[in-house]
Amino acid sequence: MSRGARFAGIIGAVLFVAAVVGFGTALDGYLQSQHPVALLGAKDFPHALAFNLLAFVLPGMLAGVVAMTLRHRLPADAGWTARIGAQLVFLSALAFIAMGLLPLDANDLESDASRLHGTAWMLWAVAFVSAAALLASGLWRDRQWSRFARLSLAAALGVLVAAFVQTDAIPAGVAQRIAFGIWFAWLTYADASRRRYRSGPEKQ
């Protein structure tokens, strides 16, 4: 595997953060604490295509690399729950890419375009929460993977709360960024822990 692929998680996270901060700063009136991330890539917004590419498409592709690598690194005796979990991580990566390919229509949040973007967001969240929970369940008893299992369960609960159990005390923009942050942190850990959690050809 190439050296670039070995740092896919951290590269994706850095691209996302840099895009959100950079394009957010350049857009007059944009507030990170209130406005959704996807607004920076909404139709007819300045540099929307570049933002969607740098914030969603490329990081999503890198997340897919992490998911595929994780799938091949699972223990040989990993059960179906862990293997399905790894597949769902890949699905969450595809949904993340879809958020960039299906931008919001800021002038009509009830339009088909906005609904499709919302569906991609929902699929991303549901896929990852399910993925992390299944990985935790399938790897919990494996001594080598027990820490990864605990962190996966924590990530699943964190995204679940941030994405679906919002309260008036947490602005929507903050809650969404917390959910994305947990996802990227989990991907970075999954990728960076390559040497600790190895199976099959990776041991050689």
Q: Which residues contact 189 (CB under 8 A, 6 or more apart)?
A: 9, 148, 151
pLDDT tens by residue, 124-183: 999 999 999 999 999 988 888 989 999 999 999 999 999 888 766 788 889 999 999 999
pLDDT tens by residue, 78-120: 889 999 999 999 999 999 999 999 999 888 878 898 999 999 9
Strands (E) located in 62-156? none
pLDDT tens by residue, 54-83: 999 999 999 999 999 999 888 888 889 999
CA trace torsion 181, 21, 36, 96 (10° rounding): -50
pLDDT tens by residue, 6-45: 789 999 999 999 999 999 999 999 999 889 999 999 998 9
Quick check: 166 and 142 in contact, CB under 8 A?
Answer: no
pLDDT at 204 over 50: no
Quick check: 39 and 30 in contact, CB under 8 A?
Answer: yes
